[in-house]
Structure formats: structure tokens, C-alpha cells
Amino acid sequence: MKINDFAKLYEPQKCHNIAELEKVRTDIEVEEEVRKNQEGEEYNLIYTVIENEEYRIPTSVLIQLKTILEAKPDLEFFKVARTGKGMLTKYQVIQL
């Protein structure tokens, strides 16, 4: 394949956010790895893979989910609501 054809088909990898999902099972597999941003600085990424797409899980979601699971250990599904943008983004875990 020629580079111009490849470039037309190329789609950069994108890590979605768990808040984009309608609902999330509490027993999904989660991975953690160190990645580099565009400036070459390392950061930890906690994510899950659903239908071959990566969904980032913010730490604040894990903290809230932990509290909910302590009170309701049999919880099967939850949803994440997101408000704000950038550094002002806030997440709310909702029991389903």
C-alpha cells in the first residue's frame, strides 16, 4: 500500500472515557500501564477494553466505586456522569 492510501485510511488511537458508556459491569477486566504524552512525560493510565476500544478510568471513579462497593458488595452495574472539561472535570458514579 502506498503511503498516501495508508494516510487516508489512518485513524489515530484514541482512549475513550468510561463516562461515555451507558453502563459498566463491576466485574470488567482493568489494566494499568505507564504511557508517554506528546511531550514525552510518563503518566499512569488505568483503562478497560470493551469491543476493542480503550476506556480510561479516572482515579476519582475508582475511589467512589470502592465506597459504593463497601456498602453494596453485590452491585453489578454502574454509570459514570461527567461534568466540566479539562482539569475542571468532575465524575459521579451512579448505582444502577
Residues 6+ apart with CB under 8 A from 91: 19, 58, 60, 61, 64, 80, 81, 82
d(C-alpha 16, C-alpha 24), whole Å: 14
The side-by-side arrangement of strands in the sheet containing 16-17 is: 16-17, 53-56, 42-50, 31-36
**How far are the Cα atoms of 26, 59, 60, 63, 79 from residue 66, in angstroms, in the given order?**
10, 11, 10, 5, 14
pLDDT in tens, the chain (96 residues): 888 888 877 776 678 999 999 999 999 999 999 988 878 888 999 999 999 999 999 999 999 999 999 999 999 999 999 999 888 999 999 999
For the chain, the structural domain boundaries read 12-95
Q: Read off the pTM.
A: 0.79
